[in-house]
Amino acid sequence: MDALSQFLTLEIYRGLLVLARVAAAIGLLPGFGEAAVPMRIRAVLAIIVTLVLLPGVEGLPERMPDQPVEMLRALAGESLVGAYLGLGARLFMAALQTTGALVAQVVGLSNPFSMEAAGFEGGSVLSGVLLIGGLALLFAADVHYLMIGALARSYGSWPAGVFPDLGMVAQRFAELLATTFRLGVGLAAPFILYGLVMNVALGLVNRVMPAMPVYFVATPGVLMVGMGLFMATAGAMLTAFVAALGGWLSGS
C-alpha cells in the first residue's frame, strides 16, 4: 500500500472514530434524538457535527490497528462514550417528567393513558407540558450548542480510540442518576408541601364532619389551586431545569 492510500485509510478510520461517538450522542440527546426527528435528519446532523469537530480533535490514533478486533473495540468505546453523554442529558428530561408526574399526582391530574412526549410513556398531561416547554426553552437558550461543546470537550476526559473504564462510566452514570432524581423531586417540592397541607386539612375536616363527602367537595378546589400554583411556578421550574442541564454539559 502506497503512502497516499495509507494516509487516506488512516483519515477515514479517524473520521469513523469521531462519527461513532457523535452519532451515538446525537441519537440520544434531547431535541436531536427525539422520535419525531427522522432518522435521516439525525444521520445528516451526526455527519455535519463530525466534520466540524474532526479537525480540532486531539489524541486521534497515529496508525491503523493491527487487528480488526482492536478496531471494533475502539469503535465500541467511542459509541459507549457518546451514549453516556446522550443518556446523561436525557436523564434531565426524565427529571422534568418526574416533576410533572408528582405535580399531577398532587393536583389530581395523574392519568396513565395520557400522551407520550419526548420519548416518555405513561406520563401525565402536566409532564407533557413541562417536557415540550423544556425542549423549546432548551433551544431558545442555546443549550444545544453546549451539547456540541460537551462532545468536543469529552475527548479531554476520554481520548479517542481508547476503550473507557466501565467502572468509572457506571459510577458517573449512577451519580448523575441520583442528581437528576433529586432535581426532579426538588422542582416539585412546592407541590409536595401543598399536597401535605391539603391532605392534613381535609383529614381534619373529615374528622369534624364525618358525613360530609370531603373528597368530592374538595377535589375542584384542590385542582383549581394546584393549577394556579403550577402556572405560577412552571417558568421557574423550566428555568432551573435548563440551568441544571447547561451546568452539567459545561462541566462534563
What per-residue string of b and e applies to 134-168 under the rule 16 or more CB within 10 Å gives b?
Answer: bbebbeebebbebbbebbeebbeebbbbeebeeee
Structure confidence at residue 70 (pLDDT): 87
pLDDT at 54 over 60: yes
pLDDT at 67 over 90: no
pLDDT tens digits for range 100-121: 888 988 887 776 555 555 555 5
Give Cβ neighbours of residue 46 (< 8 Å, ≥ 6 apart).
Answer: 19, 22, 23, 26, 27
3-state DSSP call for residue 125?
helix
pLDDT averaged over the chain?
Answer: 85
Most confident of 64-73, 104-113, 205-214: 64-73
Structure confidence at residue 215 (pLDDT): 76
Structure confidence at residue 174 (pLDDT): 93
The pair phi, psi for residue 123, each rounded to 5°, is -90, -140
pTM score, whole prediction: 0.85
Residue 149: HSE in the Cβ half-sphere, 13 Å Cα cutoff: 12
Structure confidence at residue 173 (pLDDT): 92
Of 123 and 131, the structure prediction assigns the larger pLDDT to 131
Domain containing residue 114: 3-251
Structure confidence at residue 111 (pLDDT): 63
Count of domains observed in the chain? 1
Assigned C-alpha cell, 128: 407533557
